[in-house]
Chains A and B, each alone.
Chain A
Amino acid sequence: MKRLKNKKQKAGVEVNGNGSVTREPDCGRKQKLSEINQALISDPVDIETLRRAAASKGGLLTDELRRKVWPKLLNINVYDLPHKPGRDVRENHKDFNQVVLDVTRSMKRFPKGMPASERAVLQEQMTDIILEVLKRTPQLHYYQGYHDVAVTLLLVVGERMTIAMLDTLSNHHLRDFMDPTMDSTKHILNYLMPILEQVDRELHDFMIRAEVGTIFALSWLITWYGHVLSDFKHTMRLYDFFLASHPLMPIYLAATIVLHREKEVKKTECDMAMVHHLLSRIPQDLPYELLIGQAQDLFDQYPPSLLAKRAALQPRKSLSISTFQAFQLATLHQRPDTVLQRLTKAQGSSTSRQAPRQSGLEAALPQEQGRLWGKGNRMVKMAVWGLSATLGAAVFAVAQTAMDWGPEVLLQLF
């Protein structure tokens, strides 16, 4: 993290040095866009820069970039994605009923203007994706809230990439939440109070006296805030941050949110119900960029190992934490997409090239998409949604030759 921070400062200087343009934010954005694109074509991919970009102001900026960078952050080869699950994924699945129940009730996670038919298709995909990932690793257990992670990924990167990303996350960042019991999750939540103790003793003591516990932050942690934020752009921004960070970072962010509301908390009656009530309702207008920066600073200042020692946290094996270093190391050796494409092709995995074509055609709802795209500019955003979700897979097949593929390219194609 220290290194990240240094780089961040360096980047800041570069931006300023380049500051002949009066509108600095735009200039910073342009600069950032080019840095990200440069990092993506470096060989090996410049993962440090991508991580720094994902965490720093504005995150990954656009959905198009997210589709390129998110897989890199998780060490995923976009040319070798899992296939669409078949219908048999639903057969004899122990979690089937619970998943369907939660997915059916997840309507609010979808953009407001999305036609019900399109949402229904995505919900079907969501169910299949979740069941497929669970089936791949029988040690993983579904939890309510997992579907909030799945839908966030699905809305940005499409079905097949979501399978790949969710699979990786489930075996790393989210792994502790997927034990048969929630004991490991509780253990992770236990890091929250020690952070508060370090920063604001008074607030910490107040919360201890109120016996509020930490369940108010449970849904924040296990859904990466997807369950509690109503504006999807904030959710994506936080996903940028968490995908690039240590698995405990959502807890550090929770701490900054509580600290941010310190005055409100202290004004509340010192009672479990009242404090739980206040804290569990997350304000929708939080200064996310500020809090993200603070969470990083807290992480640097009070790393998990230090907290564990100071707070005498009961030792417990956290798979998310113990596998993280190796996971991060593994991400350092990725080839850029152009190379991956060539290599994957060369490996003769013709199946992975054909499958997306097929699945794209299957899932594309040709009539509906056609109608959407026919409506011109107003519909571009919708089209992008539809595209990222239902055609995400096809993108890789259609635009294989375009280095800078994106919705715009596809819109022209259709």
Chain B
Amino acid sequence: MRNTLHLILLFSVVLGFNLNSAAQDYFRMSADFTTKVKPVEGKMNLTKGKIYYDKYSQELIYDISFPSKEKWIVQDSKIYKITNDSVYFTEEIPSMNEFTVFHLALNSNLTYFGLDEAKFSISNIDKKGDLVISYWNIPPHIQKVISTIAIAKKNNQLHSIVITGENNKILNKQFFKDYIQIGGFEFPGSIVQIFYDENNNEEYQVMEFKNIELNDIDNEENYHYQLDN
């Protein structure tokens, strides 16, 4: 009887461990996205399409349907813009994909938007209403332009980020809303970003996501673009 109990206990522990491991193992995602940009001056922008991201290959693909059909591929330290399978624009960029909202969400690191994983340290924590606000120390190199990074959590989810510049003037605010929950995976359905210019005029960027699909292994080609094509 005792042996049976031990076996059941052992089985439960092993099963629980496996379920937990499986729940955490989200390695790729796709989603319909809509990006809206309303600048202080000039024309607005609407871009729609589908994003594909695989956290192991760290390849970010935007399959754009509007304004026109094209693909943007962000691989390592390069961005490629492609129409009709031909590259029309290439640019060197810092390797950034592991800091995207997609990578952070797939690794369950979205709560502090990757700051904690990068060993940034919290200088202060404050509670205001439903929000738990953490203030982060700024690396010396950028203190002259970014004076504060404050991250607010609500219900243990990333709620907003405020970045200030000289004299604590707000440069940028980001809000993460309408979370989509799929098993243990959660992702903001919309991200609102507000920029402030020197005259405190506001510029808006909103990115919306829907139809999220996780761990799609049937459409491998969507997640890896062969550039030599």
Is the A/B pair a real complex? no
User: Which B residues have a C-beta under 8 Å from some C-beta of A?
Assistant: none
**Chain A interface residues toward B at CB < 8 A:** none
